[in-house]
Structure 1
Amino acid sequence: MTSAAGKALPSLDKGPLSLRELRDGDRLALLDLLDTIRGRKALVLEADFAAPLSLLVEASTLREHGVELFGVLGDGSALASQLEDREIRQVVYLLHTRLESVHAAVAHVAQCRRLCSSPLEFAWLRAGLLADVTLLPTPLSWIPLDEDLISLELPDVFREWTADGDPSSLHELASALSSLQQRFGAVARIKAKGTAAVEVAGLLGRMRREQGSEGPAVGQSGIDGMILMDRSVDIVSPACTQLTYEGLLEETMGIRCGQVVLESEGGRKVHGLNSSDAVFVETRDKFYMDARRWINETLRTIQQFRDQGIHSADISALRGFVSELRDKFVRIPLHTSLIEQLAASLASPGFAARQKVEAGLLDGGDELPAILDLMYTGEGAAAVLRLLCLYCAVHGGIPRKAYDGLRRDFLNTYGHEHLLTLAALQRAGWGGRGRRRQGYIARRVPCDFLVATTGVVSGRSLVQEFMPPGG
């Protein structure tokens, strides 16, 4: 069971664009689409659709529009039994525009074959000619995650483009950017950096020409300019461990659509982490120790006021204190618990060893022997692969004389099923033989990628998010 009692949605009122309008428009379009399917119905989602959908519409609202049963793609047998028990004969599938998603839905329908009134009807269904199966485009594209952040929630784009050579996701991105301009007006200046970004910019230009006079007018946009960048611009950062409070929560617990799921006595509970959380706003971009110090100081301030000042303060001072710390006081217990869980994760020997290797690589050192030591001492396959990717990003590849032995030892340690993993990484430009142009090392010092700082970090600093410990 998952509880959403601790979830808080971002207000979307304080950003540069009216993202509330974007969210409300998508919600209304989705509900209108559901209303076209009259009667009682079940809604089946892909596993990674639940979190984004929860930011658009509440389950209670979906029930008001006829959705009586919720399911996840892959639970066909359990869903079929519930459909039969409740006598629900209409199922709505919310899917990505991917072929594998359609295949999964077809298998799901086959598992729910009890919905068909006769074997003949099911035969028509298997042949793909049953008139009751209707394909409709959903209006969902951008998911507002916070006041200044929207996402398409397409986590496989990088793999599809680099490893699989599938450019279809780029067209989907261009279509989403075009729909954004339909809502807010055309963007006059669009700049692109990277092969995929240039491709998307070209698709956007073609879509604008095809729209002709029906397209949005230039100059009426709330967006003055748009800069498109793909991952090839910076392949070092995603291979590094994030050291901010928000980054470490993502590394250790996983933040999905601005939400973190924690286990409690009553089951799993969803907590929102966004700009509506007064404590998270203050701590999200601080280093872990700075965030912990800020929370402790805030707790001491509250305690001192309760112990000393509450009886002597006048009404105006008391009102000001309550107004300032009320929202923070409500959220501090959650973040105290998160800090304690982070402390346990960061105290593990493996985390310190990985950080030491990362720091050496970012300083331009050859840490391949240290990575091999981690592999031989039982570090997880994902962590070792991440360090190898960082090594390749920094040094331009793995030396030829070391590659074959490393590949053999990795497969013997973690299983030969990872042969496909290594092949996919090599197609994507990670983990290849030989040394290519070492762009990171050449630019590390002139561009000040690593800056030694002390004290509390103010604002979001990409440099400091990946600064080695003790720097």
Structure 2
Amino acid sequence: MAYELWRKLEEEEDGETKGRRPEIGHIFLLDRDVDFVTALCSQVVYEGLVDDTFRIKCGSVDFGPEVTSSDKSLKVLLNAEDKVFHEIRNEHFSNVFGFLSQKARNLQAQYDRRRGMDIKQMKNFVSQELKGLKQEHRLLSLHIGACESIMKKKTKQDFQELIKTEHALLEGFNIRESTSYIEEHIDRQVSPIESLRLMCLLSITENGLIPKDYRSLKTQYLQSYGPEHMLTFSNLRRAGLLTEQGPGDTLTAVESKVSKLVTDKAAGKITDAFSSLAKRSNFRAISKKLNLIPRVDGEYDLKVPRDMAYVFSGAYVPLSC
């Protein structure tokens, strides 16, 4: 659909525009089902957590009283004009508080410059800088409040344990313990969406759930969140997101879709990856062949990341990257 829309817009361009050399030489359109794993992992960069907590709609977010420190909500436009947001939107959340703290000190230092100014300097300061500083200070306060609200919510939901489970699923370790965590997550009714997300991640990384686990998790979920979710499980199965393992399975929906997109020589690395796999391919083989699971000595450096895995705390490099 995106390709068809792009072609239609291209055809509607007038002759003058067509004569110009395009700024973008190539465009790659990847269907989401090429890489479900990226969408199923928890977001840990600032913008992702803001979206996860407050929901970004049409480029703006509504911050409630817990963020604004007043009895009113405030709609904030999140774009490059918000200098604070622009600098931290893609930062790992563990780095954000340090940045905001330094930003606050810098703003205070700029305010302190007023001391010792003569009348002319004070006039220039008020007319040229004060308004911008006040705006930046207001935005800084909002983002600090948003960070505190995110921290409270994630601490309450035991976010670190959730991330640990996701990483274990991606790396293929402690699958039984991870399954037990998902069961506990469902029984505690922490979040219906997160429970489904974990089940889907387990299914995709393991090429489907063991029939016994599938039936058990499905039963517990329906008992916790209601039988109306029978249709949800049916839709997820049809999409290839939550399936049972079966004898003689061929490529999963994800891998089959990827294999159709890598016919071009420019995608030789991905083509080689799939051609070397057995008939029954799986996430483990793909991630190993394409180095999607970084192997580092010691802890992954989130302050100076060396690849896109930092968006998942160093656990997984999105396939499209």
TM-score, with length taken from structure 1: 0.50
Correspondence list, 1:313-392, <5 A:
322=129, 326=133, 328-365=136-173, 366=175, 367-392=178-203
Using the alignment, how far apart are the partners of 1:233 and 1:443 within structure 2?
12
**Higher Cα Rg: structure 1 or 2?**
1
| Cα separation, partners in 2 of 1:381 and 1:438, compared to 1, 3 Å | farther
Using the alignment, how far apart are the partners of 2:221 and 2:148 within structure 1?
34
1:421 to 215, 218, 232: 232
| Cα separation, partners in 2 of 1:449 and 1:310, compared to 1, 3 Å | farther
| Cα separation, partners in 2 of 1:349 and 1:228, compared to 1, 3 Å | closer
Per the alignment, residue 404 of structure 1 pairs with 215
Structure 1: unaligned runs, 5 residues or longer: 1-169, 186-213
| 1:271-328 deviations in Å (ceiling 9; x for gaps) | 1111121111100011112111101111012224434x44358969x97x949x7363
Please tell me whether residue 449 in structure 1 is matched to residue 302 in structure 2.
no
Using the alignment, how far apart are the partners of 1:379 and 1:179 within structure 2?
45
Using the alignment, how far apart are the partners of 2:285 and 2:145 within structure 1?
42
Using the alignment, how far apart are the partners of 1:220 and 1:298 within structure 2?
41
Structure 2: unaligned runs, 5 residues or longer: 250-279, 316-321
Offset at 1:217? 4.7
1:440 to 269, 283, 286: 283
| Cα separation, partners in 2 of 1:240 and 1:455, compared to 1, 3 Å | closer
| Cα separation, partners in 2 of 1:219 and 1:440, compared to 1, 3 Å | farther
Using the alignment, how far apart are the partners of 2:71 and 2:156 within structure 1?
28
Correspondence list, 1:36-75, <5 A:
none
- Does structure 1 retain, via aligned residues, the 8 Å contact 2:84–2:140? yes
Using the alignment, how far apart are the partners of 1:270 and 1:425 within structure 2?
34
Please tell me whether residue 291 in structure 1 is matched to residue 63 in structure 2.
no
Offset at 1:174? 4.1
Offset at 1:371? 1.0
- Does structure 1 retain, via aligned residues, the 8 Å contact 2:45–2:93? yes
| Cα separation, partners in 2 of 1:455 and 1:409, compared to 1, 3 Å | closer
Using the alignment, how far apart are the partners of 1:322 and 1:457 within structure 2?
32
Using the alignment, how far apart are the partners of 2:141 and 2:182 within structure 1?
38
Deviates more, 1:355-364 or 1:174-183: 174-183
Please tell me whether residue 255 in structure 1 is matched to residue 102 in structure 2.
no
Using the alignment, how far apart are the partners of 1:438 and 1:299 within structure 2?
51
TM-score, with length taken from structure 2: 0.72
Offset at 1:391? 0.8
Per the alignment, residue 132 of structure 1 pairs with none
- Does structure 2 retain, via aligned residues, the 8 Å contact 1:398–1:432? yes
Query: Alignment partner of 2:36: what SS?
Result: coil
- Does structure 2 retain, via aligned residues, the 8 Å contact 1:244–1:288? yes
Offset at 1:262? 2.1
Offset at 1:227? 1.2
| 1:141-171 deviations in Å (ceiling 9; x for gaps) | xxxxxxxxxxxxxxxxxxxxxxxxxxxxx3x
Please tell me whether residue 229 in structure 1 is matched to residue 75 in structure 2.
no
Please tell me whether residue 282 in structure 1 is matched to residue 87 in structure 2.
yes
What amino acid does structure 2 have at the position aligned with 1:176? L
What amino acid does structure 1 have at the position aligned with 2:47? E
| 1:206-265 deviations in Å (ceiling 9; x for gaps) | xxxxxxxx9x85865443222111012211010011100111111111111211012345
Per the alignment, residue 45 of structure 2 pairs with 244
Using the alignment, how far apart are the partners of 1:361 and 1:244 within structure 2?
20
- Does structure 1 retain, via aligned residues, the 8 Å contact 2:157–2:190? no
- Does structure 1 retain, via aligned residues, the 8 Å contact 2:47–2:90? yes
Offset at 1:175? 4.2
Query: Alignment partner of 1:227: what SS?
Result: coil
Structure number with higher relative contact order (C-alpha < 8 Å, ≥ 6 residues apart): 2
1:300 to 105, 114, 118: 105
What amino acid does structure 2 have at the position aligned with 1:262? F
Offset at 1:362? 1.7
Question: What is the root-mean-square deviation of aligned Cα atoms in Å?
Answer: 3.3
Per the alignment, residue 269 of structure 1 pairs with 74
Per the alignment, residue 115 of structure 2 pairs with 311
Offset at 1:404? 2.1
What amino acid does structure 2 have at the position aligned with 1:286? E
2:10 to 181, 196, 199: 181
